[in-house]
Protein backbone atom coordinates (compact mmCIF):
# COMPACT_ATOMS: atom_id res chain seq x y z
CA UNK A 1 0.00 0.00 0.00
CA UNK A 2 1.55 3.29 -1.08
CA UNK A 3 1.16 6.62 0.69
CA UNK A 4 -1.25 7.71 -2.03
CA UNK A 5 -3.59 4.81 -1.25
CA UNK A 6 -3.54 5.71 2.43
CA UNK A 7 -4.38 9.32 1.61
CA UNK A 8 -7.23 8.19 -0.61
CA UNK A 9 -8.74 6.10 2.19
CA UNK A 10 -8.37 8.94 4.68
CA UNK A 11 -9.81 11.42 2.20
CA UNK A 12 -12.80 9.13 1.70
CA UNK A 13 -13.47 9.01 5.45
CA UNK A 14 -13.03 12.78 5.77
CA UNK A 15 -15.22 13.31 2.72
CA UNK A 16 -18.03 11.35 4.34
CA UNK A 17 -17.80 13.49 7.47
CA UNK A 18 -17.81 16.67 5.37
CA UNK A 19 -20.58 15.21 3.16
CA UNK A 20 -18.12 15.36 0.25
CA UNK A 21 -16.96 12.34 -1.76
CA UNK A 22 -14.21 13.43 -4.17
CA UNK A 23 -13.02 9.83 -4.26
CA UNK A 24 -16.38 8.59 -5.55
CA UNK A 25 -16.41 11.24 -8.27
CA UNK A 26 -12.91 10.19 -9.34
CA UNK A 27 -14.03 6.56 -9.57
CA UNK A 28 -16.91 7.40 -11.91
Per residue in 3-25, pLDDT (tens digit) is 788 888 888 887 666 655 556 65
Supply the pLDDT for residue 9: 87
Supply the pLDDT for residue 21: 53
φ, ψ of residue 18 to 5 degrees: the values are -90, 10
> Does 28 score more than 60 pLDDT?
no
> Does 1 score more than 60 pLDDT?
no
Q: So where are the chain's domains?
A: 1-28
φ, ψ of residue 21 to 5 degrees: the values are -125, 75
Q: How far is CA 15 from CA 6, 11, 28, in A?
A: 14, 6, 16
CB atoms within 10 A of CB 5: 9
CB atoms within 10 A of CB 12: 14
Supply the pLDDT for residue 18: 62
Amino acid sequence: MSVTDREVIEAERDGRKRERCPVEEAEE
